[in-house]
Amino acid sequence: MKQIDTDSLNGRTPEIIARGEILRLAKNQEASLATSFEDLLGDGSPPDETADEMIGTIREWRDLPSSRSFD
């Protein structure tokens, strides 16, 4: 994590600087930030998907190689 030079804050708090960094990263990645609790919930699963089907899908996803995996 990058250290913040407190002498160069120009009256800004580290929280304000961190928020600016987050917004800059989101913009660079063309990602939108959730602005409400409903945004965090998302659309949910398909209405006709059963709990067993959802669990099966999650198990399949776990078996897929990840870009972060060492395989």
- The CA distance from 22 to 37, in Å, is 19
Phi and psi at 13, nearest 5°, equal -85, 155
pLDDT the model gives residue 4: 60
Note the pTM of the prediction, 2 decimals. Answer: 0.36
**Which pLDDT score, from 0 to 100, does residue 55 have?**
93
pLDDT value, residue 27:
87
The pLDDT of residue 2 is: 65
Residue 38 phi/psi, 5-degree rounding, is -60, -35
Tell me what pLDDT residue 22 has.
Answer: 87
Note the pLDDT of residue 8.
66
Q: What is the mean pLDDT of each run of 10 residues along the chain (71 residues)?
A: 65 84 88 80 80 92 80 57
